[in-house]
Chains A and B, each alone.
Chain A
């Protein structure tokens, strides 16, 4: 227990952050020039942190495995970013955003961190607009908002279905400014393969140049990981192909605790799996649930008819449809949080109401939105609101304006026109709330090693609300880390450059080279993907949307066996001294094979249902998640050589400013 000090400042919740900023040490501008910071990952968190630290005067070295920092997977976030601006005058406030986030996270996040997040959320929007991020606007020229799941206000700022792209390009532009000034040295197509710890402090990394295969040493006074989540452990997910846990996992193996690995977000609206060849899943933004209604047929005979093609969904009468979210959760309807919506879809499909061949799909239907908008427009334009053709045409135009790019994306993949027939959707792995354990300063338990954005565990508890990932990434990078890291670095103004020829660097490089040698010289017969797919199946079937003791115990055993088999039988073509994607993938899958086991172990330990973690054994009579007071803690795992030997530490969560009650969206 004593090992985990969350360093939450004293004082009333609303004053903690301001007080903390006033209390912590600062580094004088002249001394910042003497300090180097390594940032791994250039998504919203890493990119914004790199830009801000460089702007403050630190010497930043930024690393990404992509060919440009602009391609980090934050770019794929679609729907929007939350901020408690209350521009709509609908009663929003910092407290309400805080409240919604803690409740949405099923009371498993740290109060002080979440409050700070809500507090700085408004700065993010100001900052981004000043940077030229083209958010959607109303005709009056002011910023527009929309609603997301799990909340009762409109606080989501957006740029069509490309909000993540626009925000990332904003951070990328801020980085470019600093790269141009020489304050950031950018290393693209580089992958971090180890953290170097000197005298107990993170002092550098070992990275592999993915083009030449060269192993490089880089030193700094602090190391920041903004390396995203680990959802690709499931093989199929909405993550990018390259997203991986390697950086975080190597940090874990060097002593950083891994917190709540089992908290995974399974997003309710993704395009269903179509076959074995599939390499990834595609998300359809949560914003679609503003206007789309989710349903399955009420009767099994209609399900059969739809599956065998004799009945078109559009021909099914209204009274024969089961709008199950509206039925079960009348207050929030289709806009319940993601974990609730996903589980409800699974419940219907498990009961045999899935509408595609595999039985794993539900409808997301825009017909009534098209009609509603169409009538509105017809009225405004003085046309006949009873003319169906006119109304449909106008309604489609409105829907196209709002979601055009998403509809196009859907049509390209599925080959069906979602303006004419309802979309088919099914939940898919989308985000991981778990990650490296960090304190209030975003520092892991390893001094000088920070984790920001999705890579840490801190703000979303057991379930993340829509449009909050972008908020957290940018809050960490722009507004939190730049303050808190100064407190740590203030002690380093006289340290001078960290040498890379120390024994610690030698050892780390040795280890990295050894691991690579082992993979490349393995005389195996099966490809990396072969193992990754098998891991994914275990994860999805036994650690997916619903988990139970028996499955989890099996998963732990199967993953350990699979890992053993991997090292015996994996085949990596080519050499280590060239561009070799298979080699890079092999290293990543090796780490997933360890993380997967810890994931299952964590899920097994957590004998309750909370947010994205649902245990069959712990549910209410109506099938809702049953939280248990005795599990009101963060699980932080310490590496001890094998995932099975990981040591469990607990950080108890205190709620002083919010009443912990049953999380209801009914």
Chain B
């Protein structure tokens, strides 16, 4: 059992200034998940009649991309290739002080405490993250176009992005390049995505810039912190796609 000190960002709503508040917590089992530890804290706060800490979470198995905690200076905490909900308390030790902050980016404004608004990601997808095919079911047979396994696998790897925003949170420039490039790459690698490739990359990058994300300076932090291990190769691919599209007009 562990005793810990939590330093948590509390902010009543978008207009509140917010501050770090200290919470001691005890009797934490190493088998608990990080979010279960926060559940324990919240139950204690509720019992004392205080407001629980608001944080985003849903599937708690690392796939929905809802949880978004900056733990001890890192997106999703000290382990790599997992989300905060998959982090367990065995990664900490008795007596530790743990900072818990929301994602920080101009394009991700805080809603409350540790919850941020990531609808900018949705708007980028709406600008072109799709293939314009009617959902009639009257498309050609799924096996009509064979796709080289290597490309299919790479497209899949890019498509595993869960849209959590850890890339933005850990980038010193709050750049969304890894997220955007994952979607651009998925379609760029598939024959079905070719038709709209030019417009897609131009529109998505424009939306990304308009949302106020920073520029990529290739520090590689995003790739390290991405819970799904999305590769930097995708950013290079998007750069290529974008430049080719720009010169094409």
The interface of chain A, by Cβ under 8 A from chain B, is 48, 51-52, 55, 66-73, 75-76, 85, 87, 120, 123-143, 159-160, 162, 165-166, 169, 172-174, 176-177, 179-180, 186, 188, 211, 238, 240-242, 274-275, 277-280, 282-283, 408-409, 412-413, 415, 478-479, 527, 529, 571, 573-574, 578-579, 581-582
Contacts and interface: CB of A to CB of B under 8 A. Distances in A.
A91 B110 CA distance: 55
Contacts of A173: 125, 129-131
B143 interface: yes
Interface string B31-65: 11101100110010111011110101111111111
A174 B119 CA distance: 17
Interface string B175-215: 00000000000110010110000000000000000000000
A142 B143 CA distance: 6
A279 B66 contact: no
A166 B138 CA distance: 20
Contacts of A573: 45-46, 49-52
Given A75-B64, A413-B86, A581-B54, A277 B32 contact: yes
Nearest to A582: B52
Contacts of B142: 85, 125-126, 128-129, 135, 143
Contact of A71 (B29, B35, B65, B137): B65
A126 B139 contact: yes
Contacts of B63: 75-76, 162, 165
A513 to B, nearest CB: 21
Nearest to B47: A527
Contacts of B135: 48, 51-52, 55, 127, 131, 174, 478
17 contacts: A67-B66, A68-B121, A71-B163, A126-B139, A126-B141, A129-B139, A131-B130, A131-B135, A134-B190, A136-B152, A136-B156, A159-B156, A162-B63, A172-B125, A179-B122, A415-B31, A578-B12
B59 A73 contact: yes
Contact of A479 (B33, B122, B137, B153): B137
Given A140-B146, A179-B126, 17 more contacts: A67-B66, A68-B121, A70-B65, A70-B122, A75-B64, A130-B131, A130-B133, A134-B155, A135-B142, A136-B152, A138-B149, A141-B152, A240-B60, A277-B36, A412-B82, A579-B111, A582-B46
A64 to B, nearest CB: 11
A415 B79 CA distance: 13
Nearest to B128: A180
A138 B149 CA distance: 6
B140 interface: yes
A127 B139 contact: yes
Contacts of A169: 159
Nearest to B125: A176
A409 B86 contact: yes
Contact of B33 (A76, A123, A279): A279
Contact of A415 (B46, B90, B141, B148): B90
A179 to B, nearest CB: 5
B52 A143 contact: no
B46 A130 contact: no
B134 A137 contact: no
Contacts of A574: 51
Contacts of B119: 67-68, 188
B88 interface: yes
B160 interface: yes
B18 to A, nearest CB: 14
B169 to A, nearest CB: 15
Interface of B: 12-13, 29, 31-33, 35-36, 39-40, 43, 45-47, 49-52, 54, 56-66, 79, 81-82, 86, 88, 90, 111-112, 115, 117-119, 121-122, 125-143, 146-149, 152-153, 155-156, 159-160, 162-163, 186-187, 190, 192-193
A135 B192 CA distance: 13
B39 A529 contact: yes
B36 A68 contact: no
Contact of B137 (A120, A282, A579): A120
Given A68-B121, A76-B63, A132-B131, A241 B162 contact: no
B237 to A, nearest CB: 15
Contacts of A140: 146
A282 B86 CA distance: 10
A404 B156 CA distance: 14
A104 B57 CA distance: 34
B127 A180 contact: yes
B148 A141 contact: yes
Given A282-B61, A529-B39, A412 B156 contact: no
Contact of A67 (B56, B61, B186): B56
Given A173-B125, A578-B13, A141 B147 contact: yes
Contact of B122 (A48, A68, A85): A68
B137 A280 contact: no
Contact of A412 (B51, B88, B139): B88
B146 A527 contact: no
Q: Which 6 pairs show the lowest CB-CB distances between chains A and B?
A: A141-B146, A123-B137, A173-B130, A134-B156, A130-B139, A129-B142
A468 B141 CA distance: 20
Nearest to B91: A412
A68 B86 CA distance: 20
A134 B140 contact: no
A22 to B, nearest CB: 16
B205 to A, nearest CB: 15
Contacts of A180: 126-128
A562 B163 CA distance: 39
A367 B148 CA distance: 31
B52 A142 contact: no
A240 B160 contact: no
Contacts of A177: 126, 130, 132
Given A76-B64, A132-B186, A177-B132, A578 B139 contact: no
A581 to B, nearest CB: 6
B31 A166 contact: no
Contact of A241 (B58, B81, B90, B147): B58
Contacts of A275: 29, 31-32
